[in-house]
């Protein structure tokens, strides 16, 4: 059973370009979280999605950032017109369908390290 | 200070010693979780403790939770060089709070010297 997969693992973009980060959750998981981690810091929540729905995007910057989790295919975090400050590690985590609203355990992917030059 | 602060920020111990790290938080929680992150890698879930629990064990790990003080501690006994990593706490919000935002602490960087 493959774990959470993210690609690419490393991504270099020039200022102004678009970055698309992909996350394939574990098989059977329909909940995805995206986090951003700056060097020497903890993870900052960005967005929580279920299939075809954005449930909580309170951590997403209002501009240039968007996320989706279509019925088929991976979850995508899209950053338009990247700036140097977007350089960070972006992690996604997935959780199985649960009976409670709060999902207990998240399984993390290896992350995508975005460098904006 | 922000939700999910940990101390110490860095800890260096000898192999075989115990390592204790602490996490404080500000708001009500459903549960608190501890994760480990090796350098340049994703996070690995270690242990979860619910708001109505006070202590939990898993192998060499012992977690305590004091909801009155809004704090938790992670104890790693008989540490090994392989335990060298950053350790993060994360709090899950109460059910029905309207948010699903897990809040991670700033992390404790543990170094175990052989």
| pLDDT single digits (tens) B75-93 | 999 999 999 999 999 998 8
Which residue stretches of chain B are H helix?
A: none
Judged on CB neighbours under 10 Å (0-12, 13-18, 19+), B90 is buried
Whole-angstrom Cα distance, residue A103 to residue A100? 7
Residue of B nearest to A36 (CA): B104
Using one digit for the tens of pLDDT, what is the confidence trace for A75-108?
999 999 999 999 999 999 998 764 454 556 788 9
Is the pLDDT at A2 greater than 80? The verdict is no
- Which chain A residues contact residue B45 at CB under 8 A? 105-108
> Would you give the end-to-end CA distance of chain B in angstroms?
34
**Nearest residue of B to residue A89, measured between CA atoms:** B40
Q: CB–CB of A110 and B42 under 8 A?
A: yes
**B 79-98 near A (Cβ less than 8 A):** 88, 90, 92-96
Q: Which residue of A has its CA nearest to B99?
A: A56
CB atoms within 10 A of CB B89: 31
CA angle A85–A105–B99, rounded 5-degree value: 60
Q: Provide the pLDDT confidence category of residue A66 given band limits of 50, 70 and 90.
A: very high
Could you read off the pLDDT of A23-56 as tens digits, one per residue?
Answer: 999 988 888 999 999 887 889 999 999 988 998 8
Cα of A78 vs its chain's centroid, Å: 9
Interchain CB contact of B107 with A (< 8 Å): yes
- For B99, residues 6+ apart whose C-beta sits below 8 A from its C-beta are A56, A58, B93
* Structure confidence at residue B109 as a pLDDT band (50, 70, 90): very high
B8-12, B35-39, B97-101, B107-111 — which is least confidently predicted? B97-101
């Amino acid at each position: 059973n493959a774990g959470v997969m993210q690609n690419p693992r490393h991504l270099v973009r020039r200022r102004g370009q678009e970055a698309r980060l992909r996350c394939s959750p574990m098989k059977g998981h329909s909940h995805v979280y995206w986090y951003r981690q700056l060097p020497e810091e903890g993870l900052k929540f960005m967005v929580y999605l279920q299939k075809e729905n954005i449930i909580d995007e309170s951590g997403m910057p209002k501009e240039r950032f968007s996320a989706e989790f279509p019925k088929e295919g991976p979850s995508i975090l899209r950053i338009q017109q990247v700036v140097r400050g977007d350089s960070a590690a972006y992690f996604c985590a997935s959780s199985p369908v649960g009976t409670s609203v709060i999902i207990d355990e998240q399984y993390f992917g290896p992350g995508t390290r975005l460098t904006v030059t | 200070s922000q939700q999910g602060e940990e101390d110490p920020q860095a800890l260096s111990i000898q192999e075989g010693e115990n390592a204790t790290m602490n996490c404080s938080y500000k708001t009500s929680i459903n549960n608190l979780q501890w994760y480990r992150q090796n350098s340049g890698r994703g996070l690995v879930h270690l242990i979860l403790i619910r708001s109505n629990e006070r202590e939990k064990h898993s192998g060499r790990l012992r977690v305590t939770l004091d909801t009155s003080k809004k704090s938790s501690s992670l104890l790693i006994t008989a540490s090994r060089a392989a335990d060298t990593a950053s350790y993060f706490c994360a709090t899950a919000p109460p059910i029905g709070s309207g948010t699903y935002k897990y809040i991670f602490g700033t992390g404790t960087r543990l170094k175990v010297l052989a």
